[in-house]
Amino acid sequence: MKDFAEGLACACAVLDVASYLTYNWYARHKKSNPNPVMWAIWSCLALTNLFSYGTMSGDRFKATVAMTNAFMCVLTFVVIMNRRRRDVADQMRPPPIEPYMKVVAVICAVAIAAWAVLREAKYACFISQFGTCVSMSPLFKELPKKPSAEPV
């Protein structure tokens, strides 16, 4: 069973990287309009999840998906900020900060605070995963209405 779990973690990590690379290609070629604020928040959530899950599980294979997700999320944020820097020079206006983004940022801060205060990684891990779920809600709400739009 351990070999299966390790293989599954590696397969998930490879698929995670492939999906991020595909997304970054679209973002880089201006075929999507990513919101840098949301990607900054997702990067924070992914890093919190990585460190809390890694601490909680103590198993490097179980943390493989969290590790690749955090790395690729931060890389995506850097790609978006690089694109945004060029777009600002072209006078492109950044997307607005939506109320749900503020909620997710607070959830991320609570996850970090819970870990710092309680010294228990599992609470930070659960809270950051909840924040990730909340952050995806606009995607499921808005994308079916307009598939070519990126609500986040």
Choose among 13, 44, 40: nearest CA to 124. Answer: 44
| Span 108-142, pLDDT tens digits | 889 888 888 887 777 887 887 788 778 777 766 66
pLDDT attached to residue 88: 56
For 89-112, how does the pLDDT look when each residue is reduced to its tens digit (9 = 90+)? 555 566 677 787 788 888 888 988
Rounded to 5°, angle at Cα 127 from 126 and 128: 95
Report the chain's C-alpha Rg in angstroms: 16
- 32-89 pLDDT, tens per residue? 777 787 888 888 888 888 888 777 777 777 788 888 888 988 988 888 887 766 665 5
pTM: 0.71
